């Protein structure tokens, strides 16, 4: 029997509902398979030695959580710096927001080495290791350098830009070459796979061997699309629980005479939140019948506050939202409610169900699981409409949503108007088709198809022995 070892920067207790797509999906996966979950503890030690960190383990049901603290200097260069001020903007096509300072990459390498050193002694010979996301791209190379021979898979939750954007990263060759230390690299969409393929051929000089396999430096890696899904049954259960039902009823009462539009995001420039507000403004200008009748609720949870681009966005958004309410609001109606707080996950299904239109309009997004959650939360008899950016990974699957270009303010306003006016029969038909797709490609399908491609079946995975 093999054990599954999941490695990600961000961890959560898999027995409790987490916020954020990655932590939720990995929690759902590990709840099913048992295993070890390794990553950052969330603690920053102010006087910690760079490249060092205390390791702690604890049991959460069938899952062993093993976490490492980060020294303040490492947190600044690895997490805020290289991960979130270099890789995040570049991979989301925002070279203008990237800050290519050399000390960032040093911290990034240091923490990847630290993780490798701390993880290695916890590994069993027959473990299967599954590494997640852009914080940890070179982790397998660091593990291999220490002698690790286990199978290692990597899944990138964010998009991959075209090769010429990647090539703007001063360390792109080193970074992309480190992918060859993995046995399997999973991406969210076919578009991402096409970009990696072109990079491998044009920039890395790799040999293509068919079925997504590329060879270079005496190693072969397989690259494929494994679009991540949600745990549909679990989310439906959450939707029937008292918190969600209460939230739904409270929203219905509050907005009884209004049509509710909803956006739920982390406050991130990739999510296209200002563009959405502009489109909403355009909607009110072009179709005045929505005045006093439509309300946009936008929940933007605080994220990466200390990174400049995020604080700039916050200011911009506060200005835009204030202006819309000032220009259009009335004593008995505010067009927009902007909430810069995290909403408890147990309330999310109720909020989604109360909304006639779900607005998921990122400028670029790996997948976007809120789009799937919005659909699942709907009442199949009287479902709301999903307005989805064509630049979200989810758009490759969710074709029956109203697909929009978030840069096109007028087009987006028209799509929102179409959503608000859509006849019941069409809403039902689109919803049924979306549900079928989301059910078919749920989080369990994702786990099984990725691990299957890595050569492991679910039956071969077992609960952990004590770590």
Minimum distance of ligand G6P from residue 367's CB (angstroms): 9
SS3 68: strand
Minimum distance of ligand G6P from residue 352's CB (angstroms): 18
Nearer to ligand G6P, 2 or 303 (CB): 303
Stretch that binds ligand G6P, among 14-22, 101-109, 114-122, 236-244 (CB under 6 A): 14-22
> 48 with 71: CB under 8 angstroms?
yes
Cα Dmax for the chain: 70
Token pair for 373: 């959650």
CA distance 155 to 106: 23
Token pair for 216: 């270079």
Compute how many residues bind ligand G6P; rule: CB under 6 A.
Answer: 9
Does the footprint of ligand G6P cover residue 160 (CB under 6 A)?
no
Does the footprint of ligand G6P cover residue 10 (CB under 6 A)?
yes
Active site residue 183: no
- The footprint of ligand G6P on residues 100-139 (CB under 6 A) is 133
Active-site choice (132, 157, 195, 431): 157
Which position among 3, 92, 157, 427 is part of the footprint of ligand G6P (CB under 6 A)? 157
Nearer to ligand G6P, 183 or 268 (CB): 268
Q: Is 396 exposed, middle or buried (0-12, 13-18, 19+ CB in 10 A)?
A: middle
Active-site choice (365, 431, 441, 442): 365
CA distance 433 to 118: 46
Does the footprint of ligand G6P cover residue 158 (CB under 6 A)?
yes
Percent helix, strand, coil in the chain (nearest 5)? 50, 20, 30
Does the footprint of ligand G6P cover residue 364 (CB under 6 A)?
no
Nearer to ligand G6P, 22 or 206 (CB): 22
Minimum distance of ligand G6P from residue 20's CB (angstroms): 4
Nearer to ligand G6P, 157 or 345 (CB): 157
- How do strand 207-208 and strand 213-216 relate by DSSP bridges? antiparallel
What are 404's strand-pairing partners? 389
- The footprint of ligand G6P on residues 408-447 (CB under 6 A) is none
Does the footprint of ligand G6P cover residue 188 (CB under 6 A)?
no
Token pair for 361: 């309009």
Active site residue 312: no
Residue 240's CB is within 10 A of a number of other CB atoms, namely 9
Q: Which residue has the tokens 């007028």?
A: 410
User: Which phi and psi (to 5°) does residue 155 adopt?
Assistant: -125, 130
Does the footprint of ligand G6P cover residue 25 (CB under 6 A)?
no
- Pattern 277-306, binding to ligand G6P, x per CB under 6 A? --------------------------xx--
Token pair for 226: 């494994």
In this structure, the dihedral spanned by the alpha carbons of residues 441, 443, 445 and 449, taken in order and rounded to 10 degrees, is: 120
Stretch that binds ligand G6P, among 15-23, 51-59, 139-147, 330-338 (CB under 6 A): 15-23
Minimum distance of ligand G6P from residue 111's CB (angstroms): 14
Does the footprint of ligand G6P cover residue 317 (CB under 6 A)?
no
Nearer to ligand G6P, 279 or 300 (CB): 300
Stretch that binds ligand G6P, among 19-27, 61-69, 334-342, 370-378 (CB under 6 A): 19-27
CA distance 434 to 296: 23
Cα distances (angstroms) measured from residue 186 to each of 35, 122, 221, 376, 441: 20, 24, 11, 25, 15
Task: Determine which helix (DSSP H) or strand (DSSP E) holds 219, and give its type and residue range.
Answer: strand 219-225
Q: Which of 402, 446, 394 is nearest to 421 (CA)?
A: 402
> 216 with 9: CB under 8 angstroms?
no
Q: Which of 401, 412, 343 is nearest to 372 (CA)?
A: 401
Nearer to ligand G6P, 22 or 456 (CB): 22
Does the footprint of ligand G6P cover residue 73 (CB under 6 A)?
no
Nearer to ligand G6P, 304 or 372 (CB): 304
Which position among 11, 12, 18, 22 is part of the footprint of ligand G6P (CB under 6 A)? 22
Which position among 13, 17, 20, 274 is part of the footprint of ligand G6P (CB under 6 A)? 20
Does the footprint of ligand G6P cover residue 186 (CB under 6 A)?
no
> Annotated active-site positions, please?
157, 365
Could you list the residues that contact ligand G6P (CB under 6 A)?
10, 20-22, 133, 157-158, 303-304
């Amino acid at each position: 029997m093999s054990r599954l070892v999941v490695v990600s920067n961000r961890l959560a207790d898999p027995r409790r509902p987490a916020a954020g797509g990655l932590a939720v999906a990995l929690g759902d996966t590990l709840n099913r398979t048992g295993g070890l979950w390794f990553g950052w503890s969330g603690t920053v030690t102010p006087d910690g030695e760079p490249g060092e960190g205390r390791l702690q383990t604890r049991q959460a049901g069938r899952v062993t959580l093993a976490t490492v603290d980060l020294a303040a200097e490492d947190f600044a260069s690895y997490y805020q710096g290289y991960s979130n001020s270099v890789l995040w903007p570049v991979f989301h096509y925002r070279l203008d927001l990237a800050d290519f300072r050399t000390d960032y990459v040093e911290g990034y390498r240091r923490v990847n080495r630290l993780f490798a050193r701390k993880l290695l002694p916890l590994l069993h010979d027959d473990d299967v290791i599954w590494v997640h996301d852009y914080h940890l791209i070179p982790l397998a190379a660091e593990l291999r350098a220490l002698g690790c021979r286990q199978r290692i898979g990597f899944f990138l939750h964010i998009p991959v830009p075209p090769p010429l954007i990647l090539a703007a990263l001063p360390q792109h060759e080193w970074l992309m070459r480190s992918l060859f230390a993995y046995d399997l690299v999973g991406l969210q969409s076919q578009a991402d796979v096409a970009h990696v393929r072109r990079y491998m051929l044009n920039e890395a000089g790799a040999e293509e061997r068919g079925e997504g396999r590329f060879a270079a430096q005496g190693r072969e890696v397989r690259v494929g699309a494994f679009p991540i899904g949600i745990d549909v049954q679990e989310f439906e259960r959450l939707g029937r629980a008292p918190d969600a039902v209460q939230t739904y009823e409270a929203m219905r009462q509050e907005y009884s005479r209004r049509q509710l539009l909803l956006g739920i995001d982390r406050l991130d420039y990739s999510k296209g939140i200002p563009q959405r507000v502009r489109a909403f403004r355009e909607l009110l200008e072009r179709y005045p019948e929505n005045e006093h009748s439509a309300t946009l609720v936008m929940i933007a949870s605080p994220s990466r506050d200390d990174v400049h681009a995020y604080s700039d966005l916050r200011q911009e958004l506060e200005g835009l939202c204030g202006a819309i309410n000032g220009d259009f609001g009335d004593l008995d109606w505010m067009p927009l409610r902007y909430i810069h707080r995290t909403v408890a996950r147990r309330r999310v299904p109720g909020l989604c169900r109360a909304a006639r239109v779900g607005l998921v309009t990122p400028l670029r997004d790996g997948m976007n699981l809120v789009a799937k959650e919005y659909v699942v939360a709907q009442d199949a008899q009287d479902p709301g409409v999903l307005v989805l950016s064509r630049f979200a990974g989810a758009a490759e699957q969710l074709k029956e949503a109203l697909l929009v270009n978030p840069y096109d303010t007028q087009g987006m306003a028209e799509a929102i108007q179409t959503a608000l006016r859509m006849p019941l029969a069409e809403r039902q038909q689109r919803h049924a088709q979306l549900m079928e797709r989301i059910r078919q490609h749920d989080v369990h399908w994702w786990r099984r198809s990725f691990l299957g491609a890595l050569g492991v079946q679910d039956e071969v995975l077992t609960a952990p022995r004590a770590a």
